[in-house]
């Protein structure tokens, strides 16, 4: 009996010790020690160590695309014989991409925001809304009646979920910048770094949020209104009373990149990213190889479904043949004559819709006939123009105001705002950033190794020492000039030279994917074409992408048995 009591007492003491150890462990785990210094991380103002391992959240509308290697180009039939999509092996980092093309409804949100913040009736802002508006006249045809689309396609609710068209490359880039700021504005409001409701109630031309401006100088956001840009404790907890009964002073801490809540920018995908995402070769992966390359974003060599449920249905919206844009009335062919509702056709193996058909899509790259994989085979992109924040004469960041809004006059005379109030003014990088660097030597890298003999925009028929007189432009495309006379009227000068031999220049941008106007040949993800960045059509739209930060994959890999 006495032995049983002793055993019971020992068991109870063991339990008490275990509970005490657990509570101590729990208590000690709440304060983490830095692996670099041994200091208590939670008591420091910095947030990098405290947020270590925090994963990126996908932005609204985006789908995760796990990166990897793939063969870029290599179409099965090069009937055009233009040799601009010869096969190269490339590797693309993981990224996010819009599940669907940007729709009319999404773009109208942008336009309504611009109209509210920058009223077109005010002289200072009259070009902002007009410059962002799609060109609805792209639907007109000399020998066709398309006025219904001209008048209704952008704004009628019946077309709200149709892909937006009539948007040039520059407008697509500006939409992406606007989307970045609005998404991060909502994130910071949710995390209580910004006053609730400020993004709708307090916004004006003089009180705006810009992601990059906030990161560089938070106190200048919303016109410097400190009631909107809130200060937070570095731990995220409410201020508490100290030992003397006084409330601890709220620390001046704003969201930073190290906070892990601000998303990278929305942008146009690179050509390599778009093609990789469209092909979705992961659907036919066997161990560490691809079982052949797809002709289309779906498996198989045909455009019709082989599944029993919808056998015979077209898998994309494209032109079937002369005078055939949608098949015979009353039967399920591709179900559309012009564009169609997004998500009307099956998604590819990455979960992306309309990567073939519906509309072709702008990508970020400047067009050149050759993909220079010898120079780079990782995240390939032609079009880098490096810039930095502009510092004013007072030594402070120069923030754009209504007095110095930056406009870009297109070759057709249209004026587009490319830097809005609240954003940071940007300038090209100079020798301070490029001196003795091996990876880049100037701001504008569009023409780097662009395929001609001298790896520049010129090739030389004669002796290289004979001077510039022997140099002939490789890409001597037409140069249309738009100026303004003394009365403020626009003067358009059309280049009518008969000596032009190409349409390629630094403003020619790549667009990918077949559209409702294209035959099945152009549905191949490897196909590539180009169009002037300041012009729009009724068959080119776009979707956004976002870079992935952190791990390559979202799930833990395991060996396949």
Least confidently predicted of 80-84, 94-98, 469-473:
469-473
Confidence band for 459, pLDDT divided at 50, 70 and 90: low
**Residue 275 pLDDT > 70, yes or no?**
yes
Collapse the DSSP code of 362 into the 3-class scheme (helix H, G, I; strand E, B; otherwise coil) and give the result.
Answer: strand
The pLDDT-based confidence of 159 (bands split at 50, 70, 90) is very high
Q: What angle do CA 507, 513, 518 make, to 5 degrees?
A: 100
Q: Within a 13 Å sphere around the CA of 508, how many CA atoms are in the beta-carbon half?
A: 17
Count the Cβ atoms, other than its own, within 10 Å of residue 516: 24
CA 213, CA 203: separation in Å to the nearest integer? 15
What pTM does this model have? 0.88
Res. 371: pLDDT tops 50:
yes
CA distance 80 to 121: 49
Confidence bin at 27 (pLDDT 50/70/90): very low
Is 451's pLDDT higher than 70?
Answer: no
- For 210-355, strand residue ranges (E) read 285-286, 289-290
Query: Minimum mean pLDDT among 221-230, 314-323, 419-428: which range?
Result: 221-230
Q: DSSP of 396-459, one letter per residue?
A: SB-B--TTS-EEEE-TTS-EEEEE-TTSBPEEE--HHHHTT-SS--SSB-TTTT-SSTTSSSEE
Highest mean pLDDT among 287-296, 321-330, 475-484: 321-330
pLDDT at 5: 59
pLDDT band at 241 (very low <50, low <70, confident <90, very high): low
Is residue 453 within 8 Å of residue 461, measured between CB atoms? no
Q: What is the pLDDT of residue 76?
A: 75
Q: How confident is the model at residue 384 (pLDDT cuts 50, 70, 90)?
A: very high
> What is the pLDDT at residue 246?
65
461 or 4, which is more confident: 4
Confidence (pLDDT) at 225: 85
Q: What is the pLDDT of residue 467?
A: 46
Give the integer Cα–Cα distance in Å for 23 and 33. 18
Average pLDDT (319-348) is 89
Give the DSSP per-residue string, 318-337: ---BTTBSS-STTS-SSS-S
Asked if residues 327 and 334 have their Cβ atoms less than 8 Å apart, the reply is yes
Answer whether residue 240 shows pLDDT above 90.
no
Could you count the other beta carbons within 10 Å of the beta carbon of residue 413? 13
Q: Which band of pLDDT confidence, cut at 50, 70 and 90, is reported for residue 535?
A: very high
Q: Tell me, what's the pLDDT at 166?
A: 97
Q: What is the pLDDT of residue 50?
A: 59
**C-alpha pair distances (Å), 37 with each of 32, 34, 40, 53, 259:** 11, 5, 9, 18, 20
Q: Please tell me the predicted confidence (pLDDT) of residue 13.
A: 63
pLDDT digits (tens, 9 = 90+) for 125-149: 989 999 999 999 999 999 999 999 9
- Give the Cα separation of 32 and 322 in Å (integer): 70
Structure tokens at 134: 């799609």
Q: What is the mean pLDDT of residues 328-343?
A: 87
What is the model's pLDDT at position 75?
Answer: 76
- State what percent of residues in the chain have pLDDT above 70: 82
Report how far residue 138's alpha carbon sits from residue 166's, in angstroms, rounded to the nearest whole number. Answer: 6
* CA–CA separation, 554 and 94 (whole Å): 10
Mean pLDDT in residue range 44-65:
75
How confident is the model over 185-200, as pLDDT tens digits?
A: 999 999 889 989 888 8
Which alpha helices (DSSP H) does 30-142 contain, by range?
A: 104-117, 126-132
Q: Give phi and psi for 364, each to the nearest 5.
A: -75, -20
Structure confidence at residue 49 (pLDDT): 56
Give SS3 for 531. strand
d(CA 321, CA 517): 10
Residue 397 has pLDDT above 80, yes or no: yes
The pLDDT, as a whole number, for residue 473 is: 64
d(CA 85, CA 264): 30
pLDDT at 413: 85
Is residue 182 over pLDDT 90? yes
What integer pLDDT is reported at residue 44 of this predicted model?
A: 54
Tokens standing for residue 276? 């990789």
Average pLDDT, the chain: 84
- Per the model's pLDDT, the better-predicted residue between 379 and 309 turns out to be 379
Looking up tokens 């994130």 gives 187
End-to-end CA distance of the chain: 58
Q: Please, which residues have CB within 8 angstroms of residue 63's CB and are 6 or more apart in sequence? A: 96, 97, 98, 99, 350, 351, 352
Q: Which residue has the higher pLDDT, 331 or 103?
A: 103
Taking the C-alpha atoms of residue 126 and residue 157, their distance in angstroms, rounded to an integer, is 26
pLDDT for residue 456 = 47
Residue 49 CB neighbour total at 10 angstroms: 17
Instruction: List, in order of start, the domains of the chain with CATH numbers.
Output: 46-240+248-547 (3.90.1580.10)
| 318, 303 Cβ separation under 8 angstroms | yes
Measured distance CA(166)–CA(146) in Å, rounded: 14
Tokens found for residue 28: 């000690």
**Alpha-carbon distances, residue 152 vs 109, 146, 158, 475, 541 (angstroms):** 17, 10, 9, 39, 17
Q: What is the pLDDT of residue 329?
A: 85
Of all residues in the chain, what percent carry a pLDDT higher than 90? 48
| Cβ–Cβ under 8 Å, residues 507 and 526 | no
Other C-beta atoms lying within 10 Å of the C-beta of residue 372: 16
Contacts 24+ apart (CB under 8 A), 284-289: 287/560
Q: Nearest Cα to 494, choosing from 478, 480, 482, 477?
A: 480
Q: Predicted confidence band at 249 (pLDDT cuts at 50, 70, 90)? A: low
| Confidence at residue 19, expressed as pLDDT on a 0 to 100 scale | 56
Higher pLDDT, 241 or 71: 71
CA distance 541 to 357: 11
């Amino acid at each position: 009996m006495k032995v049983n009591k002793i055993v019971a007492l020992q068991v109870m003491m063991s339990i008490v010790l275990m509970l005490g150890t657990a509570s101590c462990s729990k208590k000690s785990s709440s304060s983490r020690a830095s692996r670099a210094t041994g200091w208590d991380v939670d008591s420091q103002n910095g947030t990098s160590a405290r947020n270590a391992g925090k994963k990126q959240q996908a932005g609204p509308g985006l789908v995760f695309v796990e990166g990897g290697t793939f063969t870029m180009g290599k179409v099965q039939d090069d009937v055009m014989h233009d040799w601009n999509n010869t096969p190269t092996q490339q590797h693309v980092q993981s990224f996010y991409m819009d599940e669907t093309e940007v729709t009319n409804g999404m773009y109208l949100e942008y336009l309504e925001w611009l109209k509210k913040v920058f009223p077109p009736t005010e002289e200072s802002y009259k070009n902002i809304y007009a410059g962002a508006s799609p060109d609805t006249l792209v639907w007109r045809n000399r020998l066709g009646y398309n006025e219904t689309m001209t008048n209704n396609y952008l704004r009628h609710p019946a077309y709200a979920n149709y892909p937006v068209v009539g948007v040039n490359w520059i407008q697509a880039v500006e939409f992406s910048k606007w989307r970045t700021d609005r998404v991060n504005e909502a994130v910071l409001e949710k995390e209580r770094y910004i006053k609730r409701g400020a993004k709708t109630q307090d916004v004006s031309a003089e009180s705006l949020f810009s992601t990059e401006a906030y990161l560089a100088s938070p106190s200048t956001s919303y016109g410097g209104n400190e009631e909107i840009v809130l200060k937070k404790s570095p731990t995220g907890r409410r201020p508490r009373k100290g030992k003397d009964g006084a409330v601890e002073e709220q620390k001046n801490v704003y969201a930073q990149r190290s906070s892990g809540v601000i998303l990278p920018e929305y942008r146009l995908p690179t050509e390599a990213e778009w093609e990789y995402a469209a092909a979705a070769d992961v659907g036919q992966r066997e161990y560490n190889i691809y079982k052949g390359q797809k002709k289309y974003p779906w498996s198989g060599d045909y455009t019709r479904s082989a599944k029993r449920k919808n056998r015979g249905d077209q898998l994309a919206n494209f032109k079937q043949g002369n005078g055939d844009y949608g098949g015979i009335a009353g039967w399920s062919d591709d179900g559309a004559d012009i564009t169609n509702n997004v998500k009307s056709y099956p998604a590819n193996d990455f979960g992306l819709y309309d990567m073939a058909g519906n509309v072709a899509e702008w990508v970020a790259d400047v067009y050149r006939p050759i993909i220079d994989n010898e120079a780079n085979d990782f995240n390939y992109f032609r079009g880098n123009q490096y810039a930095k924040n502009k510092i004013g004469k007072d030594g402070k960041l120069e923030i754009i105001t209504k007095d110095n809004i930056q406009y870009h006059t297109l070759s057709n005379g249209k004026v587009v705002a490319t830097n809005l109030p609240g954003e940071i003014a940007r300038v090209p990088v100079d020798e301070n950033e490029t001196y003795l660097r091996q990876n880049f030597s100037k701001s504008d890298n569009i023409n780097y190794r662009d395929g001609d003999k001298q790896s520049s925009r010129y090739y030389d028929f004669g002796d290289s020492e004979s001077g510039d007189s022997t140099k002939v432009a490789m890409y001597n495309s037409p140069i249309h000039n738009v100026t303004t006379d003394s009365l403020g009227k626009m003067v358009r000068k059309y280049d009518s030279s008969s000596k032009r031999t190409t349409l390629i220049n630094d403003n020619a941008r790549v667009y990918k994917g077949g559209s409702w106007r294209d035959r099945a040949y152009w549905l191949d993800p490897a196909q590539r074409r180009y169009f002037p960045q300041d012009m729009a059509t009724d068959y080119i739209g776009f979707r956004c992408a976002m870079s992935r930060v952190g791990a390559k994959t979202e799930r833990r890999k395991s060996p396949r048995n």
